[in-house]
């Protein structure tokens, strides 16, 4: 445990570097998708290039600026009600974990859903938000709820929330733009581009393939970092609570919880401690989180 603060500081520095790299990759992917669409539609390459980069940068900026409000709105979350006993306990647990982590107390929100879940969002600890479902408040005991809040507080302390929040928005944008482009090509019958010559046809085919693959590339970029951060948040959360068993028991309940009341948008699903929409895929290649059984095993080996 003595090495834990140093490891956390090292991880925070690494996360800051990762954030810059990932944002650059997302800008490149977004720029490339916009450029490919322009080429397919027959726009001059120079003009498309001059427009694509500012549009990509502007979208990243907008996503960053409004990401917190967008996540809260997409999740259908509301501020905690201090008159409610269960929600008041949630506020106390968030304050307790913030004190243990040496951070400002995040804003506390609640999502009205019977499912057991929680997430954190924000740019930095000063504007962070922690949200838990009413199902978590009703079905988790004090020890288990503390474990879940410790996990989310670790995401805040490790600066995971910035890259997770912004990347979710950009990945969704790339998928949406690519889908719109493919629909435009389908309905236009491929007549929007009148270029002749074998070389242009090859470039056109490459552009179409890239539009199809871009959402997959962006998703894999996010997956490459998300799973490792979940393991670390589990470990750091156990360090904050001094009780790995609390989070392990909570994950067991989440594993046994059949998601029958998912709320909000699927775009923010990767932010949750477990995907509320497709838990059947949570242990698959495309899952943003590592297998729950492995997470539980690691916690209990601490």
Just list the catalytic residues: 152
The helix-helix angle for 160-188 and 4-40 (nearest 10°) equals 20
Strand, helix or coil for residue 118: strand
The helix-helix angle for 4-40 and 198-241 (nearest 10°) equals 160
Strand order across the 118-121 sheet: 78-79, 107-111, 129-133, 118-121
Strand, helix or coil for residue 133: strand
Strand, helix or coil for residue 144: helix
From residue 6, alpha-carbon distances to 88, 126, 128, 232, 235 in Å are 33, 21, 23, 14, 14
List 102's β-bridge partners, or say none: none
């Amino acid at each position: 445990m003595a090495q834990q603060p140093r490891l956390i500081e090292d991880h925070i520095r690494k996360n800051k570097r990762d954030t810059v790299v990932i944002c650059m990759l997302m800008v490149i992917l977004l720029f490339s998708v916009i450029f490919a669409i322009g080429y397919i539609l027959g726009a001059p390459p120079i003009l498309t290039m001059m427009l694509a980069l500012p549009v990509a940068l502007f979208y990243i900026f907008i996503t960053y600026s409004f990401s917190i409000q967008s996540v809260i709105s997409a999740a259908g979350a509301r501020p905690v009600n201090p008159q409610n006993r269960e929600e008041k306990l949630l506020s106390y647990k968030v304050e307790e974990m913030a004190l243990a982590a040496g951070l400002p107390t995040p804003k506390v929100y609640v999502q009205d859903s019977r499912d057991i879940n929680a997430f954190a969002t924000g740019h930095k600890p000063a504007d962070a938000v922690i949200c838990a479902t009413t199902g978590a408040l009703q079905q988790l005991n004090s020890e288990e709820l503390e474990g879940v809040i410790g996990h989310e507080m670790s995401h805040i302390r490790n600066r995971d929330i910035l890259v997770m929040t912004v990347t979710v928005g950009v990945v969704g944008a790339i998928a949406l733009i690519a889908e719109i482009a493919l629909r435009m090509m389908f309905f236009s019958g491929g007549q929007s581009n009148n270029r002749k010559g074998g070389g242009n046809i090859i470039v056109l085919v490459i552009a179409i393939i890239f539009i199809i693959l871009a959402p997959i590339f962006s998703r894999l970029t996010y997956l490459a970092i998300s799973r490792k951060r979940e393991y670390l948040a589990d470990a750091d959360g156990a360090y904050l609570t001094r009780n790995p068993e609390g989070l392990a028991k909570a994950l067991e309940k989440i594993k046994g919880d059949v998601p029958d009341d998912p709320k909000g948008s699927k775009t923010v699903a990767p932010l949750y401690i477990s995907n509320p929409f497709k838990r059947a895929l949570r242990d698959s290649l495309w899952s943003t989180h590592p297998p729950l059984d492995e997470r539980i095993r690691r916690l209990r080996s601490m």
